Amino acid sequence: MSATSNIAVFLKKESIEQRVRELADMINRDFQGQEVILVGVLNGSFIFCADLIRHLTIPTQIEFVSISSYEGTESTGQVSFRLDVKQSLVGKNVILVEDIVDTGLTISFLLKHMKLKNVKSLKLCSLLLKRSRLKVEVPIDYLGFEIEDKFVIGYGLDFDGHYRELPYIGVYGE
Ligand code: 5GP
């Protein structure tokens, strides 16, 4: 376990739990009587996906994608796949699930990629958004929280591979 003495709690466990339930309720309403495929963006969204799917009452499947690192994305704008969805998404209701939208470059790339798969519908669900950092417009259908420009960790989000296990979202070094 990593040291947590220099981490300030930013979003409490209870606030996250409640918001995740609300997002799931919206998805349940919007897709009543239909099946959805959640496509989680690894690694950051794995806890969010796990909590979200347990509040869905509609038929649901889950897949994951993994793309090149944040640093690579920031410095070069290049994005490449480490893992892509295994099954065909043709005619499916797909919800891309991201932990945080920062510049928006990663998720824009993924949305374009998913659109090419002839899906029935494509929605974006992100737990967090740093609106002031956006470099491209991103249509977020299900948004957890809009946050200031701070580097956050916990609830799946890491700092150098650590702190993903924290049940809350915190700001490092505050
Ligand atoms: P974008 O392409 O929108 O700039 O970057 C999105 C990705 O950058 C996220 O999926 C996440 O991996 C990483 N990222 C952006 N902001 C933060 C942050 O505040 N904390 C952490 N841990 N990762 C972040």
145 lines ligand 1 (CB under 6 A): no
CA distance 115 to 118: 6
**135 is written with which tokens?**
């470099």
73 lines ligand 1 (CB under 6 A): yes
25 is catalytic: no
44 lines ligand 1 (CB under 6 A): yes
CATH class of 7-172: alpha beta
**What average pLDDT is seen over the chain?**
92
- Taking the alpha carbons at both ends of the chain, their separation in whole angstroms is 19
Q: Whose CA is nearest to atom 23 of ligand 1?
A: 157
Q: Whose CA is nearest to atom 8 of ligand 1?
A: 70
Choosing from 102, 141, 158, 160, the catalytic residue is: 102
Domain positions in the chain? 7-172
pTM of the model: 0.94
168 lines ligand 1 (CB under 6 A): no
Q: What is the pLDDT of residues 119-159, one digit of tens each?
A: 999 999 999 999 999 999 999 999 999 999 999 999 999 99
- Are the C-beta atoms of 114 and 94 separated by less than 8 Å? yes
Question: Does residue 66 carry a pLDDT above 50?
Answer: yes
